[in-house]
Structure 1
Amino acid sequence: MKKVISILLSVVMIVLLVVPTFAVDTNSEFQFNSNGKFKIMMINDTQDVILKDVIQASYLKKIVEKEHPDLIVMAGDLLTDFFPGATKDQLKKCLTQALDGINALGVPFVATFGNHDHDWEEIFPLEEQMEVYKSYSNCAIVNNGCDVGTYYIPVKSSDGSKIPLNIYVMDSNNKAKGEGFLTGYQGLKPEQVQWYKDTRDGLKAATGDYVPSLVFQHVPVKEIYQFVDKVPFNADHTDCIFGLDDGQWYKLNDKATSGVLGEVPCSESINGNTGEYEAWLEHKEVIGAFFAHDHVNNFMGVTDEGITLGYNGGTGFSTYGRGGDRSARIFEIDENDVRNYETHLVTFNDVSPIKINFYIMDLFSPVIATWLGRLIDIVCPQFIKDIVAGIQK
């Protein structure tokens, strides 16, 4: 019996020696300060065009002066979605104009891609876009991921002895083929989800435990719909928004702890399953995942499974947004209580002496769909509403 056990142990040792472990690098330029705090500023959807967004540059400077972040995370869509006939040089100019202002803030920054950055990859490949980012002195993007827009950033404790926090920056890719307007984004690819799992497990092996982590990506996971309820077509639609894609009314439910629903969430495909959210649930080390993409959504909440999901909303004035409620989302983390981080929005109206409720680019907002829905409410006879409500059940 002892001989059998000895042989089995030998086989196990050989397997462990032969099968490579996933190596992670816990070196980092980021560290909690002497007070044990670390602050992140999330921005997104600047969607810059040839005309420089001077309003954006000015108010972001004021937010930095107010909040003093240690890191800026840009969650995609720095390039515009509408630039007919654009050349690579023109797109590069758009990107550099945005980054000139962000680099001038004097704060280290990282970035991933949004769907509109992907829209241009045939003439302005993602690798070349990333080289533009990396040409700036405050760029802190690292090459430790499975593609140029997917990587992780460990944050050291104030004494440098531990890794209390990890940050995942994930590329959520572009439109999924054959899907509808609202429900058809690709989300993470299988190899990205596997990379996340390998990195998570590698960090555990390196540190002794699963490292609490924040996730930043452009397109939300479909579980964002846990915070949204459909409202019957013949019901009261106060505080509801209307979706043109499916003709349904929606509102936030009690799971949403704060913020505004301004448009129907455009998530990864609700007809598929990337496995990203399920991977987060395996060890519950993801303490929050925050998204961009839907410019007039800034709500957050806790899912049935206990994971915080939320939005920043839109940042830039070169695309639609919520008037003066365009924002950055701030995260303040205490190294001794990482899971109970604090997060809040800082808007243009919060830092500007001039307050605005509407900006010309807001004419292109999906909020217009809700205006149309309210017009339908006014002119549509009740019996028609009842018929539609029955069909939609």
Structure 2
Amino acid sequence: MSRKLCYKDDGTFKIVQFSDPEFSLPDDAETKMVERMIRIVEAEKPDLIVYAGDVIASAGLQDPEAAFRRACAVPESLGVPWAAIFGNHDSEGTITREQLHALQLTYPLNRARMDPPGVHGSGNYVSTVAGQDGHAAAALYFLDSGSYSPLEHSRMGFYDWIRRDQIEWYAGESYRLMNENDGAPLPSLAFFHIPLPEYNDVWDFGVCYGERHDIICAPWINSGLFAAMIERGDVMGTFAGHDHGNDFWGEWHGIRLCYGRTTRDAYLGRPFAAGARVIELREGERSFDTWIRLEDGTIVRDQPRHEPEGRTSENGARGQRSN
């Protein structure tokens, strides 16, 4: 099988984003989640599956590699190309992000790439989607948003941020792909686990669609990725996980900032069905469609509208809550 991602003959390319599945123990809860994932994939028939971080909940696991292999087995068994980025829970135990990234690269249907040298984190890569002519027609950026802030002692927030060298790497790849595309920015999407600070801005000052039941746990340091994406003019939308009770999206300065939908548990103490976000690109168009498919098969295209509140959301972590 070719490792190249391609638009279908009808000019579409579909992605299913699974957020925060947190594989840990092969118990009933995990079995039900896997069955849910299989139903969603069989219904949507995606061209790519993306694990948007917290693929496993590694803390305290005796065999975190086994948990990750069970996650890898889902797309592999379904014959669907896939890629993963990592979240704060993936490397809390006895396995590192580097080991997880190396492990995913051993699977035949995995479409991740080896890490670029000298770039912070593990799981920074770009994959292109070929058009009908065989040339790159879209790009998918995957970035390691880290885990916990190294500056907790100085009250700089609980969660990590995308670092300057990662942003420079993204900009360099963006320039390269633009030059290969006759000087035009390549329509692109970006995936990372921890939302950018701008997710607070779009909720507070823009019109959003969807639900927000969790604090937006963005880093307190804004390292400038959003500004770089504005400057480059290629990224149409970003996709995060991390905050299990949030599934909203909103457009901010021409970029759609989107959450996924938790695939396992929202930890809310109230009903919030698990599911996945679905994204569909169209060749030759600088746009995409997105919707949510829930565990019972319901498709949610028209999410509830949220008007701007004009204030700063609560920032930072949720203490002992797990996300």
> What range is the shorter-chain TM-score in?
0.7 to 0.9
Between the aligned partners of 1:144 and 1:163, the Cα distance in structure 2 is 20
Aligned to 2:130: 156
Give the deviation of 1:164 after TM superposition: 1.9
Unpaired runs of at least 5, structure 1? 1-26, 230-252, 353-365, 370-393
Say if 2:141 is the partner of 1:168.
Answer: yes
In the other structure, the counterpart of 2:229 is 280
Mark the runs of 5 or more structure 2 residues left unpaired by the alignment: 300-317
Aligned residue-pair number: 293
Q: Which residue of 1 aligns with 2:81?
A: 108
Whether the aligned pair in 1 keeps the contact of 2:75 and 2:81 (CA below 8 Å) is: no
Q: Percent identity?
A: 27
Change (3 A) 1:182 1:227: farther
Residue 345 (structure 1) aligns with: 292
Map Cα deviations across residues 39-73 of structure 1 (whole Å, 9 max, x no partner). 11111211111234111111111111111100011
CA shift for structure 1 position 182? 10
C-alpha distance in 1 between matches for 2:33 and 2:75: 10
| Mapped partners of 1:137, 1:106: distance in 2 | 10
1:126 is aligned to 97
Alignment map for 1:15-30 (pairs within 5 Å) = 29-30=4-5
What letter corresponds to residue 192 of structure 1 in structure 2?
Q
Choose from 243, 262, 266 the match for 2:213: 262
Alignment partners' CA distance in 2, 1:313 and 1:111: 16
CA distance in 2, matches of 1:266, 1:148: 21
Partner of 1:212: 187
Structure 1 residue 307 displacement after superposition: 1.2
- Structure number having the greater helix percentage: 1
* Structure showing greater Rg: 1
Q: Kindly provide the CA deviation profile for residues 174-193 of structure 1, in whole angstroms up to 9, marking residues without a partner as x.
A: 11134499943222111101
SS at the partner of 1:228? helix
**For residues 254 and 207 of structure 1, do their structure 2 counterparts lie closer, same or farther at Cα, with a shift above 3 Å needed?**
closer
Q: What does residue 110 of structure 2 align with?
A: 139
Match for 1:312: what amino acid?
Answer: G
Counterpart residue identity of residue 168, structure 1: Y
2:57 paired residue number: 80
Residues of 1 paired with 2:105 and 2:166: CA distance? 22
Q: How far apart, in 2, do the equivalents of 1:156 and 1:62 lie?
A: 27
Secondary structure of the 1:168 match is: strand
Cα 1:100–1:320 change in 2 (3 A) is farther
> Which of 239, 251, 262 in structure 2 is aligned with 1:290?
239
For residues 41-52 of structure 1, the aligned pairs below 5 Å read 41-52=16-27
Amino acid at match of 2:174: R
Q: CA deviation at 1:323?
A: 4.3
Q: TM-score, normalised by structure 2?
A: 0.83
Cα root mean square deviation, aligned: 2.5
The residue number in structure 2 matching 1:390 is: none
| TM-score in terms of structure 1 length | 0.69
